[in-house]
Structure 1
Amino acid sequence: MTDDQQAEKPTGVGAPRIARVVHSDPNAPASPEQKPLPDSVVRKPVDKKSAAEWAYERLILYIQNFEEQLDSEQEIAIGMTGGNAGVLRIEGVGYFDPDIITFYGSDESGMRTQLVQHVSQLNVMLRALPKLEETPVARRIGFRLAEDLEQDE
């Protein structure tokens, strides 16, 4: 599939909107907009999801995709947008219906950090940080988030 093509998505009542992306590099890795949605995401129609739940599910797809491109010495983080809040190493992601998304983690100095954001203000920059020296392997939250969606039946 080329960068400007759409991934095949489910259609019908309550089906997710079609996604689209264009990359400047024709060899760029596939992004979430280009990949089919997992069964765990399409199982419940979009019109039956809160804004927070639907945003949470798509964030998981973006996080997983970003982590797939990290090397073994990097972990995912988010750069806070607006102000000088810094960076949050992602250690957890949640939502609270109908409209709140929460990121749990630590900042660059190791202090516990939490970002609570209304879905209408959701603006996240994913970043790569070096893994913590005391952890033998980089932690991957995307896999755990997707696994949690699969168990949510």
Structure 2
Amino acid sequence: MDDKIETSAEAAEAAALPRCHEVHTDPSKPHTDVPDAVAKSPVEQKSPAQWAYERLILYIQNFEKTLDNEHEIAMGFTGGQAGVLRIEGMGYFDPDIVTFYGSDPAGTKTQLIQHVSQLSVLLRALPKQEEQKEANRIGFRLAEDLEKG
């Protein structure tokens, strides 16, 4: 137990900082670490869209860490027969819209625009496109952009 005494301001600040907790059956699975760019920005100053966007980046990046070089991240649509979108970009529009850019398995350009109250994302692994030498990793680019602020 920590015997450190906090001021009320320190306690309020700690309570407002984003936290993430995960447990997996496989202890080697990557855990979602909250980067400084996300943790140090006060939650109450973020729109629901920005907050959802930042957390999705963390989940995408961790999912990609589990993929081999033959697979890329995609998302399946829940609640319908719309199929799968290979994630090639992501963004948000304040105050409450998150959007995903990409293509379906046939290569058709696809975009999903979603209100944060309806957000439900199923991450999937798809085989990389044959003409590519390396698998695309959007999570790295998204996290890099997030760190730039």
Structure with the bigger percentage of helix: 2
1:64 maps to 2:55: no
1:82 maps to 2:83: no
* Structure 2 counterpart of 1:104, from 97, 101, 108: 101
Q: TM-score, normalised by structure 1?
A: 0.85
* Structure 2 counterpart of 1:124, from 118, 121, 125: 121
Question: Which aligned runs of 4 or more in structure 1 are off by greater than 4 angstroms?
Answer: none
Question: Alpha-carbon deviation of 1:18?
Answer: 3.3
Question: Alpha-carbon deviation of 1:31?
Answer: 2.8
C-alpha change, 1:130 and 1:81, in structure 2 (3 Å) is: same
Give the whole-Å Cα distance in 1 for the aligned partners of 2:93 and 2:11: 27
Give the whole-Å Cα distance in 1 for the aligned partners of 2:126 and 2:26: 26
The answer to whether the 8 Å contact 1:15/1:42 transfers is no
Matched to 2:63, the amino acid is F
Aligned residues: 139
Match of 1:3 in 2: none
The answer to whether the 8 Å contact 2:17/2:40 transfers is no
Question: Alpha-carbon deviation of 1:63?
Answer: 0.3
The answer to whether the 8 Å contact 1:79/1:88 transfers is yes
Unaligned 5+ runs, structure 1 = 1-9
Give the whole-Å Cα distance in 2 for the aligned partners of 1:67 and 1:77: 10
Match of 1:19 in 2: 20
* Structure 2 counterpart of 1:147, from 139, 144, 149: 144
Give the whole-Å Cα distance in 2 for the aligned partners of 1:22 and 1:151: 30
Q: Which has the larger radius of gyration?
A: 2
1:44 maps to 2:46: no
Unaligned 5+ runs, structure 2 = 1-9
Q: How big is the alpha-carbon RMSD for the aligned residues of Structure 1 and Structure 2?
A: 1.7
The answer to whether the 8 Å contact 1:93/1:102 transfers is yes
The answer to whether the 8 Å contact 2:30/2:65 transfers is no
C-alpha change, 1:26 and 1:88, in structure 2 (3 Å) is: closer
